[in-house]
Amino acid sequence: MINQSIKIESYKHNDKIHRTWTETTILTVKPDIIGVNERCKVIEANGNVWVTKVPAVVVFPKGKWFNIVGMLNPERHSYYCNIISPIEKTESGIRYVDYDIDLVYERGMIRVLDEEEYVYHKKIWGYSQNIEANVKTAVTEIKQWMSAEEGPFAPGFINFWYNKYKVVKGEIR
């Protein structure tokens, strides 16, 4: 899996595909899975296709109910975190269930998005108490990491992994 391009598939709780990132280069799997995608084709459930505009370092912390996407915007880095089920490895890459809530971290500010979507899906799909507890824990933990600038939020983390990706791609020697 290391230095290979994989597909990342996001599903909803009803087991319907939500979104697919077609190419993410995996740089490490220990202890966390870390990869980079750049100008990646993304396919939405409705068939719409778009291409990412900025490079992104994608982190799947081992055993956590979230992932972290560090985006290398020209003027500043920003982070988009998805609350997800623990990942499953598939033949073509990684798969997980998206549990709606997202957190954005930019310029020291934390925003929580899509809580209404979570409440709606919790009602119609009957999320278990275990799912609810893991979602709540994940939101709290991400906020703590953001505030403390821990893990992927630490200064230099995103640049380090993006530069490693450039070496793998032969763009830096």
Q: 9, 23 in Cβ contact below 8 A?
A: no
Structure tokens at 70: 């560090």
Q: What is the pLDDT of residue 57?
A: 98
Of 22, 19, 24, 8, nearest in space to 48 by CA: 19
pLDDT tens digit string along 63-88? 999 999 999 998 888 999 999 999 99
Domain boundaries, the chain: 5-166
Q: What is the pLDDT of residue 70?
A: 97
Q: So which residues are the catalytic ones?
A: 19
Is the pLDDT at 113 greater than 80, yes or no?
yes
Per CATH, the architecture of 5-166 is what?
Beta Barrel (2.40)
